[in-house]
Amino acid sequence: MKMEIKGFPKPQTTAEAEIIANIVQPVTEKSVQSTLSPSQSLVQVNINAVDGIKPGAGDELRRHLTSRMLQAEGVDIDYDMVLEEICASSACDNAQEVANALYDSVNEFMQEEIEGGKFATALEDMAKTLGQTLELTVEGNVLGEVVFSVLGLVSTWYPSWKQGKHCLNDGAQSFFMQYNPGDWLFNTRDGCCIRYYSWEYYACMGEDNAGAIGYYPAWDGTESCVNDAEAPDYMGLNPSLWIFDNIDSCCQRYYNWNVAGCVFKSGDDTTSVATSDWYVNNMNEICQQDCLEQSGGSCGGLVPSWKDLHKTAASCCENTLAWIPGAMCVARSQLTTYSGTSKWYADGNLQRCVQDCVGGAPCGGLLESWVEAFDSPNDCCSTKLWWLERKSCISTLKLHACFIDICFVSP
């Protein structure tokens, strides 16, 4: 819809456009309302632009606009209005006819007001209340195409966006919602609540939550599933995705990187998920069993999802801690005493080849994983301490006899 008014200066800013809009809008509303019947109502008049400038608040001094009011210029007002009329029949099958008749009635009345000068006089009076003294004439008014929608016997539901409010049907929906009914307006409260308040659907519908409906992911940082009446409404609206009959299914779906931990934290029996197989503890350089720590023994807790399981401690040690002697790794993992391999290695401090065992000579203590070991003391001496005489190289407490460079050790 467009209206041409002479006497206004052409606005230069949104604030100046806002002043003009504040004059034209209430006058237009009052004029239209005066011609409506009890079954008809004006919802809103919206000033879209004044000479192409969208109205808006600003800090400009009003005298800047007033100083140009002496210029007999004209402006074009681009505006829309929303009208409602109650249909005579419940089916409202003559909606187009009703809308056209209302359109023609309003258009005819406004033309009479404009041609008779009443509309311009009303504009001048409104301008005075805003501190503007103007001489105005309305040169023309063209109503646009009729756009209508059937709202039905009960007002359409729409999202209110107000604190403590949800979907309302009080007929106070915003102007932009009227012109985009497919996005904003709904015939039922349920449709509006599902579309715009799914996370608090029951509150939107004015209902209490139905109570516990199954296990759902807690989303509270505990990596667990719960079964109570606090499930978010959006989960209740889509139970096939969010709600499960048992803890295991919920944990598998939403905490698959730590299913066993989820099951335990959710309060279920972990017997079904604890395998008692072995996995590596890299920090302690041992292998542990997949079972609850409170079970004692080699249990290191339920296995994290990213770690591989092995059927035996030996297999775990061989595949994950290969730099540690297998027997040592297994003994430490199984919490048993490790007595060494009884192999021989060179002790740099003693300048002797000693045995990998605990106790008196020839034992030199347990072999470190990076030290090379030999099956016999002669191999150790000839390889690591070749410059020493054989008797000096081997701890003598268990020597039986030496011939040239070969010594025999008593068992």
Query: Shortest CA distance to 32 belongs to which of 67, 3, 72?
Result: 3
- The pLDDT tens digits for 288-314 are 998 877 778 999 887 877 789 999 999
The residues near 282 (Cβ < 8 Å, ≥ 6 apart) are 320
Instruction: Report the alpha-carbon distance of residue 160 to residue 151 in Å, rounded.
Output: 17
Highest mean pLDDT among 55-64, 155-164, 255-264, 303-312: 303-312
Structural domain boundaries in the chain: 2-142, 158-205, 216-228+240-268, 274-333, 344-409
| Mean pLDDT calculated for residue range 86-95 | 62
pLDDT band at 321 (very low <50, low <70, confident <90, very high): very high
pLDDT at residue 153, rounded to an integer: 41
| The pairing of beta strand 137-142 with beta strand 352-355 | unpaired
Amino acid of residue 376? S
- The pLDDT tens digits for 3-20 are 888 888 888 888 888 888
pLDDT band at 382 (very low <50, low <70, confident <90, very high): very high
Q: 251 or 74, which is more confident? A: 251
What CA–CA distances, in Å, run from 394 to 358, 364, 378, 380? 17, 11, 8, 9
61 pLDDT more than 60: no
Highest mean pLDDT among 129-138, 238-247, 261-270: 238-247
pLDDT averaged over every residue in the chain: 80
- The pLDDT tens digits for 146-202 are 555 554 444 588 998 877 678 888 778 888 888 788 888 998 888 898 888 877 777
pLDDT band at 379 (very low <50, low <70, confident <90, very high): very high
pLDDT band at 280 (very low <50, low <70, confident <90, very high): very high
